[in-house]
Structure 1
Amino acid sequence: MAAGRGDAFLVIGESLIDVVHTPDHDPVEHVGGSAANAAVALARLGRPVWLASAFGADDRGQRIRSELQDQGVGWASDPHSLEHTSYAVAELDDEGRASYTFDVAWRLHSLREDLPAPVVVQVSSLAPTLEPGAGQVLAVVRGLRGRALIAYDVNLRPAITGTGPDVVAAVEAMAAVSDVVKASDEDLAGLYDDRDEQAAIAHLLALGPVAVVVTRGAAGSGWYDGSVAVETPAQPGPVVDTIGAGDTFGAAMLDALATRGCVGAGAPAALRALTAAEVHDVLSWAARAAGVTVSRAGADPPYLRDLG
């Protein structure tokens, strides 16, 4: 059964301020962070979304709280768990590609007791890899496993966590309790520099998820579940910058999966029952949404009306 438009989506991960430097322009600050971007994207696609995140009570933190609330994002926990709000400095090249440096911390407060039971849980980026919050996140996800679709967007950040054995172990622990793992080709190379891409995908699948989704920027994306392999092109169009593109892709993918009934306790079985044509449509929807985001400055995902 497809997720109802009133069913709750829970997103867990960082919220921060992106300080964006572009050639020949003064820096501009945007609300960002992998989880915050995904939560906004889901809200704009019409999904009731709750965010478990962390930031300070400073001016930047108040801006994050205000802007996300304005987008319809609810708070799954008290986000004021840090002394100051994290930030990322994004340097854009002439083609709009971003490279980052960070000042980031992560700590998660307990989920609200009155939080609606989620049918989808998305864990993003630093949440399972940066202590002291990583252990808290893994415990939350284990508690929800079997009751919701669990999706993990790896979105590796070597500048913060490095890429050593401890990081690989944390990524694999989260992958092992997830139904869908999304990773970029760069994520896979950073985790498994001794394996080619297909070997890395096979390794992740062996940990337990039903499917691994790989994004490759302008080269498109692929879905791999051990029996079905579906690859789709990226959405053609102008590129202003790539900030938030992967987060939008992941959120729109979850929206499309929820429409096809891949939610709740029955999510694993529903994922396995997807046909190649259905998977193609899921990836195409995600690519369309990401294509809108890259056509705009900063992490500015589309509303449902923008996708026709």
Structure 2
Amino acid sequence: MQRRSFFKKTIAAGSGLILGGGFYSEAKEIINIKEQIFNLHYAPHLEMFKSVVGDNPIDQLQFMASQGFTAFEDNNMKDRDVDLQNEIAETLKTNNMIMGVFVAHTIGWKEPNLASGNKEKREEFLDEIKSSIQVAKRLGAKWMTVVPGAIDPKLAFEYQTANVVESLKAASEIIEPHNLIMVLEPLNFRDHPGMFLNESPQAYQICKAVDSPSCKILFDIYHQQIQEGNLIPNIDKCWDEIAYFQVGDNPGRNEPGTGEINYRNIFKHIYSKGFNGLVGMEHGNSIIGEEGAFAVINAYKDADNF
């Protein structure tokens, strides 16, 4: 039997609980637990569960839905074939899943981009924002990730900030009529040295200066644990500008429960504050293979158990 046919058959087999990686290996059956509802909209990404259902993106999405996940994100969505984007969109719609973030533009990892104030680079950025609108509409997406890129060592930081704000104001004017949101992601100094945007207060200041409903914060808890810690108080201080969360434990950038972050308390906190947006699972699996895939599912069940 082909793997896709096997997958469809086993998904329809019944309902119950996943007991862990060994359950699939021994029983060779995936149990549909769609009736289980997480408190928050956790969004896995492609590759996370491919050890269970194979490489096909649609099979992976169907599996996510079968396990109770109500959202999905894909940084690389903009680079995927349009036919695949359409197929993913239809699969999300069929399963009542929400499309999360994709990266909206080319990030200047090494050379200054938005911070430089270079008009040519700004126009390139704005052109990419325009093309991202079509991707968002195709997928029914609301959010797109923006990273201002590397610092410009030749400019005072205040000038760089002004340059970034002006670029984001221009981008907001483009996407605001479409009810889309750029989410700015601060990145930690250890994994991404030399980047302009590092901390949540900095992102908050920029969003206030841009002053648009289309420019908000992507608060990546993994990055901010490394960069600044004091997670819950900093989330509270930025709350009115946060539109999206991403997670990964530290050290290791794997699923909750594999590091030092108390994700159950953080999830409980943002839930109690009324957050109904997406929590992107932007991390790896701590264990390879099927066992690791089910370890991720069980980690979210545990962290969401509040």
User: Which is richer in strand?
Assistant: 1
TM-score, length-scaled by structure 1: 0.36
User: Which is richer in helix?
Assistant: 2
TM-score, length-scaled by structure 2: 0.36
